[in-house]
Structure 1
Amino acid sequence: MTMAVESRPRLVYVIPHLSEHESEHFAHIPALLAELGKRVEVAAVVERGAPPERLDGVRLLVRVGGTGRITRVLGTLSAVRRCAAAGHDTYFLRYSRLFLAVLIVTRPLYRHRILLWRSGISDVAPPEVGRTPARVLNDLVNWTLLRFVHRFVTGPESMVGYMSRRWRVPPGKMALLYNDVDATRFAPLPADHRRKARADLGWAEDEFVILFVHRLSYRKGARLLGPVFRRLVARVDVPVRLVVVGDGPDRPDVEQAARAPELRGRMLVVGALPNHELPRMYAAADCLLMPSLEEGFPRVIVEAMAAALPVVCTDAGGSGDVIGPDHPYISRVGDTAALLRHLEAVIALPAAERAALGDRLRARAGEQFSPARVAAMLQGLL
């Protein structure tokens, strides 16, 4: 029995940030690691935050520590040394550029393999900013680092070819991996619990609540929220509310739009929330709106799907792959008229049809993006 366990592949999963009260998407990772640990020997390295003392499925848990650049570099070097001493020689990273640089420098010593995840880019900039020298330098640094990784991992399907062309990575070096969602955390609520959640949130039972959960930036369509919602309020004859969850550079613009007389009290900007508070928000709302101009593999759509929440979105990045080819409420990037029509159509759906739509989305999330399936995909890359 021991020999079978020891013969399993060994993987180091690098987590950029993990804390109970974080607002980032890394709160999903523990569920994935629990499934991954059934298949491979997992070491987890947490770069920042306050993770728990142990994680299910993880054999070795390492905290980098340090707050300054030098101490973080030293902490990263120490983490790599500990993982190498434990026999782990393959690393999976998402957004950890410092960790990636340290792995590249230490590879001649430890002979490890590097699997790097990237999905989506930041080519879309506000008109007043454009392409600055800093953005050009950032691209150059990323392009250089990519030359040293063994596999460039991305998803969903349409992003594989796109990222290969964008970063000039040979197709044979590309690999597909989905984002996952824990459908036990993100799930619809029983009717009585849903009513209580809406009451606690201050949402009336007869309101149609539209939810936006994303970074408040130009890329994510934050500046479209006010104009689209203002037109929607003028065109529908039911009470509607827009709840905006997130923070970012465009928050002042969104808050200014919310202060318009016709939207006051209808458009609520709540800021960033810890990830553990989001399942209740999805389950209590009536529709998710994602008007992004640029995306990769949007987790917000997967979370909404798991919560059986109808979605109105654009086809930015891999959004169409995620939500499925037959989804009727997906528009071209920047087509605010289509977004408005889709919102009106979802509002007009009978309750039973809206519930059936949510059930189909939840079923797709469970089939395509479960931690078990994504863990199996990641195992396949080893």
Structure 2
Amino acid sequence: MKKILIISLAYFPNHVGGAEVAIKEITNRITPEDIEFHMVTLALEKGLPKEEKIRNVVVHRVGFGNTGILNKFLFQFSAAWKALSLHRKNQYDAIWAMMAHSSGAPAALFKFFKPRVPYILTLQEGDPPERIERMMWPLWPLFSRAFKRADVVQAISVFLGEWARRRGFKGSLEVVPNGVDTRHFSREYPARAIDEVKDTLGKRMGDVFLITTSRLVRKNALDNVIAALPLLPENVRFIILGTGPLEAELKEQARSSKLEARTLFLGQIGHDELPKYLKACDIFIRPSRSEGMGNSFVEAMAAGLPVIATQEGGIADFLFDEKRNPDKPITGFAVDTDSPEQIAAQVKHVMEHPEKVRAVIATACAMVMEKDDWDIIAKDMRERVFMPLLERGDN
């Protein structure tokens, strides 16, 4: 049995994003008899145990139990010391840092003191690399070493893999995307269950509902969707699932544009209910300004919705447009960044070409089933990332 120590700024039960879901889904599918996973993470709220086992991961928490900036900054050092302490006790066969900007510095510190322990860096970042680099300037020497001292980099997109190379990484690079619970999102519901959601949303016969599942932050560019609504027929409305710092600003944009009746902010919807909301709507949209990959797009494809998006960052790995990617099977409808006019044009195109849209939906759904199911992703992580590195350490 091998042992891997994960370093992750956040984890279950209450602080969960795409990176944390990836850890859970991957480790759940690798038996403890094969690889035993431990984790150093930050206590982001009071009352959480210092140590507990969450499915296949033994979680060790450090920090003050709050979400403050100081707590997160000190994690860059306290996580390294905790990792070194745990290593003396457990003799890990590798360490695995989840995201360079939040866990790369402690991994680099650990690697400085334990250079013979193999080090895996996963890149899941969604913000533009330039913004991340500015943010990490106070810790630049450690941030830089987080890339250069990694033995393997696993990136969830080609875009993030190229970033690793620009940052000086010269080792083995594996592009393994995030996965999707395909059974959950492709599940067929009774018509009554979907009709209940439509009633909740106020959807009438003939309405066309755009939907997004997104953090309300600048990079997701929901302001551009709201700006596109006046260019679309009155029966087109925009359903927004998610929360974030721009919520008040986006609501004010809708109010000042007299679009309150056509924009519906529903906040956070539980994972179990999400597929029903997707299936009650007609088009998924998120015209991102930047994106590491974007699980929400792939979830929408699995749920059977046409997807309108930019091809920024990792989106270009799976969203192929008829005009922009004539050599690829068409899986979505692309727009430029910051172009409400193109958003409106693509929405109209989807509304006016139902036969073409059905074919695109079928192609996208088949792609997701073939490449993005978590069973496939976990197998790829084990066989392409973990085991080659662990077996190399045996030699």
Shorter-chain TM range is 0.7 to 0.9
AA matched with 1:212: T
Residue number in structure 2 paired with 1:295:
291
TM-score by structure 2 length?
0.77
Partner of 2:338: 334
CA contact (8 A) 1:153 1:175 kept: yes
How many Å separate the matches in 2 of 1:317 and 1:329?
16
1:198-241 deviation line (CA, Å, top 9, x unaligned):
22444445422111222323222133122112222xxx36x222
Spell out, residue by residue over 1:293-336, the C-alpha distance to the aligned partner (whole angstroms, 9 max, x if none).
11121111122122222100001012121234423511233343
**Pairing 1:222–2:194 present:** no
Amino acid at match of 2:153: F
Other structure's SS at 1:45 match: strand
Question: Which residues in structure 2 correspond to 1:358-369 (within 5 Å)?
Answer: 358-369=361-372
In the alignment, which residue of structure 2 is the partner of 1:347? Answer: 351
Q: Which amino acid aligns with 2:122?
A: W
Which amino acid is 2:299 matched to? E
Q: 1:31 to 1:119 in 2, by over 3 A?
A: closer
**Native 8 Å contact 1:115 1:149 kept in 2:** yes
Q: Which residue in 2 is equivalent to 1:17?
A: 10
- Give the structure 2 partner of residue 157 of structure 1: 158
Return the offset for 1:176.
Answer: 1.6
For residue 11 of structure 1, give the secondary structure of its aligned residue in structure 2.
Answer: strand
Q: Which residue of 1 aligns with 2:259?
A: 263
What is the rounded CA distance, in whole Å, between the counterparts of 2:83 and 2:249 in structure 1?
42
Letter in 1 for 2:28: A
Q: Which amino acid aligns with 1:317?
A: G
What amino acid is aligned across from residue 271 of structure 1 in structure 2?
Answer: G
Residue 267 of structure 1: how far off its partner (Å): 0.4
Contact (CA 8 Å) 1:15, 1:44: kept in 2 or not? no
Per the alignment, residue 193 of structure 1 pairs with 193
User: Matched residue pairs, number?
Assistant: 362
The alpha-carbon deviation at position 254 of structure 1 amounts to 1.1
Q: Distance in 2 between matches of 1:273 and 1:17?
A: 20
SS at match of 2:5: strand
- Determine if contact 1:320/1:330 at 8 Å carries over to the other structure: no
CA change 1:225–1:76 in 2 (3 A) is same
Distance (Å, rounded) in 2 between the aligned partners of 1:203 and 1:99: 44
What corresponds to 1:90 in structure 2?
Answer: 94
1:115 deviates by: 1.1
**TM-score, normalising length from structure 1?**
0.79
User: Is the CA contact (8 Å cut-off) linking 1:293 and 1:316 kept in structure 2?
Assistant: yes
How far, CA to CA, are the matches of 1:157 and 1:110 in structure 2? 28
| 1:373 paired to 2:376 | yes
Question: Which amino acid is the alignment partner of residue 31 of structure 1?
Answer: E
RMSD: 3.5
Q: 1:67 aligns with which of 26, 48, 64?
A: 64
Distance 1:99 1:329, change over 3 A: closer
1:174 aligns with 2:168: no
1:33 maps to 2:27: yes
* Deviation (angstroms), 1:196: 2.1
2:36 to 24, 32, 42: 42
Unpaired runs of at least 5, structure 2: 66-70, 321-327, 387-395
Question: Residue in 2 aligned with 1:102?
Answer: 106
Structure 1 residues 92 and 302, CA gap change in structure 2 (3 angstroms): farther
Q: Distance in 2 between matches of 1:120 and 1:22?
A: 16
Residue 124 of structure 1 contacts residue 294 of structure 1 at CA under 8 Å; is this kept in 2?
Answer: no
Moved more, 80-89 or 209-218: 80-89
Which protein, 1 or 2, shows the higher relative CO under an 8 Å CA cutoff with sep ≥ 6?
1
Change (3 A) 1:102 1:183: same
CA displacement, residues 51-73 of structure 1 (integer Å, 9 cap, x when unaligned): 996555x2x51231432649966
Distance 1:132 1:255, change over 3 A: farther
- The match for 1:3 is none
What is the Cα deviation at residue 159 of structure 1?
Answer: 3.9
Q: Percent identity?
A: 17
User: Could you say if the C-alpha distance between residues 156 and 102 of structure 1 is closer, same or farther in structure 2, counting changes exceeding 3 Å?
Assistant: closer
